[in-house]
Amino acid sequence: MTGAAPSSRTGWAGWILAPGAAVIALLLWRMYCTVERVQWNGPRLTPSFALAEGLNFYGTRSAGPFLGWVYGPVFPLFMVPAALVPNLNGAFALAWGLNLAAFLLPAWLVARLALREFRGVATALFFWTALSLAGEVSHTQFYFLHVDTLCVGLTLLAGWALVQAVGQPELRRWVHAAAALTALAIWTKQSAAAVPVIFILWLMAAGERPLAGRFLVYVLLYGGLLGVGFMAWFGGEQVLFNLVWVHLHNPARPDGQGAFYGQLLASSPGWLIPGVALVLARRAHGIAEECAAPARRMQSLLLWLAIGSLPLGLVAASKVAGGWNSLHSLNFALLWLALALAREATQPGLGRAARLALVVAGGAPLVTGWLAAEAADLRWRPDTIQAEALASAREHAGHLYLPWNPLVTVITDHKIYPFDDALVCLSRLGIPASIEAVRRDIPTRAIVVYPEPAQSQYALQYLQKDAGN
């Protein structure tokens, strides 16, 4: 079917899918143009540039670097290729491409397993991208560089590998890949600790108890080996402080989760429309789920992931520094919906009107996606704000302090200067960094520059206590 000419049942749908794909391309272009301007992206790439400089980016409560990286080192390692690009604009372009690949390539593999037929896979990717772009809860993962995109991608790859091993004795070796990828997901973001539990429960429900036991052993083995290696590399106290202690003591939001649920509610029409269309299509036309066992298992596992990862996702989102990005279950649910829509939209025997309705409903979220892009003020021309900051840092090398952008001074000064938000977080935990430790990490007689608007200017407290600095 891959090389066949478009059939009458799917060829006409291209008149809708093609304009939709053009809208997706325009939205992705705007997100690429905006990636340098996002205030968080510089700090999130800093650990990768620090690795390229041979620097340890994990500090403790009493000694820097005060970068505030409270996740595992997998994402910084994944982004190291961007740190090797000599041009900073090119580095951000590569980082954006890696971020996008970490999100879309695992989805493509999952769609191939769940649908197999070429047009179904392409349609599923179109629907999933459209659904993901539908609102501010999910669309920012395309231009915010953060651990969640990679963590979701690794989880999808682990699930894909695990499905290969179920019911196929000749492919049991895939359980090693599933366990290793699961361990990598956990060492990417701690909330992925729910993933091996979900996988084991799913395996047991599928009657695969021996395989569940083997999977558990391998996850502990590979996760333990990674842990030993990372602690030897970065220091055991540093890793445990940032990955465990900080999160255990991070308080809940004092204002509750009203704003977060408001974002979710505002985005929901973009997801409800295709969901309702799918339900109506199945009720009206009695469409049956006829697919091979691996495809059924893949779709089933996505639902398990969507439900099982919700509790930890909500807990992470309820913390002071948490937000929509921690709700990984939404990604799994949207991918399941996209696969279901694609399966029905490419079913043989489905009437033209029903197929048209499904395709239109699957592309409808792009309307809210465009509105979300307008609300976020995404740009049309590639931003160069980071390259401009780097030029200024080179001009004042050794004297410029950018509390909200430690990235460029890592490049020019080969040091990690305190990140303002990291100092804020330590203060919030009741263990503010000492004046001596922070001053030790700030250039003497520093030229301090904050962006407008800055989310905080906490670092100034450490400078105002000493008129000579």
Hey, which residues does 209 pair with through a beta bridge? none
Q: What angle do CA 440, 404, 253 make, to 5 degrees?
A: 105
pLDDT at 149 over 90: yes
182-207 average pLDDT score: 96
Structural domain span for residue 157: 9-39+70-375
pLDDT at 287 over 70: no
422-430: long-range contacts, CB 8 A cutoff, minimum separation 24: 422/66, 422/67, 422/68, 423/66, 423/458, 423/459, 423/462, 424/456, 424/458, 425/68, 425/70, 425/246, 425/250, 425/321, 426/61, 426/66, 427/458, 428/250, 428/251, 428/320, 429/246, 429/249, 429/250, 430/249
415-441 average pLDDT score: 91
Query: 460 in a domain, yes or no?
Result: no
Contact 305, 389 (CB under 8 A): no
Query: 444 in a domain, yes or no?
Result: no
Query: 211 in a domain, yes or no?
Result: yes
Compute φ and ψ for 401, nearest 5 degrees: -125, 115
**Counts for the chain of helices (H) and strands (E), in that order:** 24, 2
- Least confident range of 223-237, 275-289, 365-379: 275-289
Summarised one tens digit per residue, pLDDT across range 28-70 is 999 999 999 999 999 999 999 999 999 999 998 888 899 999 9
pLDDT at 75 over 50: yes
Summarised one tens digit per residue, pLDDT across range 378-397 is 999 999 999 999 999 998 88
Query: 257 in a domain, yes or no?
Result: yes
Range with the largest mean pLDDT of 78-92, 118-132, 434-448: 78-92
pLDDT at 467 over 80: no
The first and second tokens of residue 424, run together, are: 């804020």
Query: 406 in a domain, yes or no?
Result: no
- What is the C-alpha to C-alpha distance for residues 456 and 469, in angstroms, rounded to an integer? 20
- What is the C-alpha to C-alpha distance for residues 316 and 191, in angstroms, rounded to an integer? 7
Contact 238, 56 (CB under 8 A): yes
> What percentage of the chain exceeds 70 in pLDDT?
92
Query: 450 in a domain, yes or no?
Result: no
- What is the C-alpha to C-alpha distance for residues 191 and 327, in angstroms, rounded to an integer? 10
Contact 346, 14 (CB under 8 A): no
Q: Of 277, 27, 18, 15, whose CA–CA distance to 132 is shortest?
A: 27
Query: 423 in a domain, yes or no?
Result: no
**Average pLDDT value over all residues in the chain:** 88
142-168 average pLDDT score: 94
| Helix, strand, coil tally for the chain in percent (to 5) | 70, 0, 30
Note the maximum CA span of the chain: 79
What is the count of structural domains for the chain?
1
Query: 179 in a domain, yes or no?
Result: yes
- What is the C-alpha to C-alpha distance for residues 202 and 193, in angstroms, rounded to an integer? 15
